Amino acid sequence: MNTAIGIELPEEIAAIQDGIEAFVRKEVLPRHEKHEALLHNPRKKYTEEGRYSPDVLQLIREIRMASSEAGYFNMSAPESIGGSEMGLLAYYAAWERVFHVCGGLNWLGVYSISHWAFGPSPVLTQITERAREEILTDMVAGKTSMCFGLSEPGAGSDATMLKTRAKRDGDGWRITGRKLWTSNSPQAQYCIVFAITDEEKANKRKGGISAFLVPMDSPGLEIESIVKMFGHIGGDEGALLFDDVKVEPWQLVGELDKGFAIAMLGVSLGRVYNSARAVGLARWGLDIAFDYIAQREVFGKTIAEYQGVTFPLAESATEIHAAHLMALNTCLLLDKGKPAIKELSMTKSYSVEKAVKTMDRVMQVHGAMGLTNEMGLNDAWETLRSINIADGTNEILRRTVVQRMLKGDMDL
């Protein structure tokens, strides 16, 4: 029970939080302990090309499948596609707990619940009946996964810059273009890809973008390279080439020319997820910082006695508490069917900015120890730093806040 929070979580959500923690302790942490050499040695974790090695992929699949079996994996996916439809407050609360427990080192925790871009989520309600028959059973069971191809080399924050085109071919289309930063693509079986289907509408910013479900082994689709970040020798983001990839009408996701709304739906779920990731990881960092400062002695006293050490941590604790409260409020609004566009933008940008700052402070109070691989603070910092960009940069989120306020949404 969190005694700092006055917003009472419904009983079933509190139970889900405890349940997912028990799941993580049973299925995720022991795998990390047993396969430490594989999961933390980059030479074993990645293939020469930079993809996760087959043994790592097997562990990821095992966790997804165990979570599906235990009833957590599809908790927030709609019932119509085989989920438990628990809503976003539950999604947030469960993810926050996963990251709080897993911290920076136990990175397989990311696969304990279906991530909106990698597996079942409200996005999949938009696929056709035939696509449901083809992909849902295995994806809900955690056996397969997917990825979300929106960004391109020349189109990130501004999706209207997309160069990928889907040209009519009989009653289907042929897709040509490049996608970049596509998370999970090196291990996915399917990609939801966004392409321009009506140039005129797209130029006027009035639709014209459509989404398609494409098997990753489709002729003409290849992963050109694995994107490497922060000095790593591998990664899970791919650069994709679509070269005249044939798609049939059953592969259209949602309505023709209205794919942008699907992209925004996905990205909004990502903002909830990343807000939870930020608060969970920051709380993990503060937990270990407070343990450390109470026992590390310098100049005859524990460093907990130096306000130069403790005040920055108090500031971070205040900010993370505020981020936590903001997120719970935003999820309550979203679960009531309110758009909460301003509130979600504020929540995600505030949470991740403050979490990056927190992790930096946690590293600082640990001295040199805070920079070692064995503490995992660098892993947490890198994750948090990257989500200042993924699913809407901090600047784009501020832009959204301002746009809403200029339209008269002045409630705070």
Ligand X SMILES: Cc1cc2nc3c(=O)[nH]c(=O)nc-3n(C[C@H](O)[C@H](O)[C@H](O)COP(=O)(O)OP(=O)(O)OC[C@H]3O[C@@H](n4cnc5c(N)ncnc54)[C@H](O)[C@@H]3O)c2cc1C
Residue 81: other Cβ atoms inside 10 A? 21
Distance, in Å, from the CA atom of 71 to the CA atom of 276, rounded to the nearest integer, reads: 20
Closest to ligand X by CB, 315 or 353: 353
Nearest to 280 by CA among 193, 372, 387, 175: 387
Minimum distance between the CB of residue 408 and ligand X, rounded to whole angstroms?
A: 21
Contact yes or no for 86/335 (Cβ under 8 A): no
Minimum distance between the CB of residue 75 and ligand X, rounded to whole angstroms?
A: 21
Among 14, 396, 400, 409, binds ligand X (CB under 6 A): 396
Among 311, 395, 402, 405, binds ligand X (CB under 6 A): 395
- DSSP one-letter string for 113-137: S--TTTS-SGGGGGS-HHHHHHHHH
16 residue type, one letter: I
260 is an interface residue for ligand X by CB under 6 A: no
183 is an interface residue for ligand X by CB under 6 A: yes
118 is an interface residue for ligand X by CB under 6 A: no
393 is an interface residue for ligand X by CB under 6 A: yes
Closest to ligand X by CB, 265 or 396: 396
- Which residues are within 8 A (CB) of 319 and not within 5 positions of it... i.e. 6 or more apart? 350, 354, 357, 358
Minimum distance between the CB of residue 109 and ligand X, rounded to whole angstroms?
A: 17
107 is an interface residue for ligand X by CB under 6 A: no
**Residue number with the shortest CB distance to ligand X?**
156
State the residue for tokens 């973008």: 209
Nearest to 178 by CA among 266, 232, 243: 243
Nearest to 230 by CA among 53, 51, 383: 383
Closest to ligand X by CB, 179 or 366: 179
Among 128, 389, 401, 409, binds ligand X (CB under 6 A): 389
State the pairing for strand pair 146-149/190-196: parallel
Minimum distance between the CB of residue 112 and ligand X, rounded to whole angstroms?
A: 19
What does DSSP assign to residue 53?
P
Which residues from 188-247 bind ligand X, rule CB under 6 A?
Answer: 237
Among 41, 137, 157, 373, binds ligand X (CB under 6 A): 157
Q: Write out the two tokens for 250.
A: 């059953």
Minimum distance between the CB of residue 182 and ligand X, rounded to whole angstroms?
A: 5
For ligand X, the binding residues (CB under 6 A) are: 117, 148-151, 156-157, 181-183, 237, 386, 389-390, 393, 395-396, 399
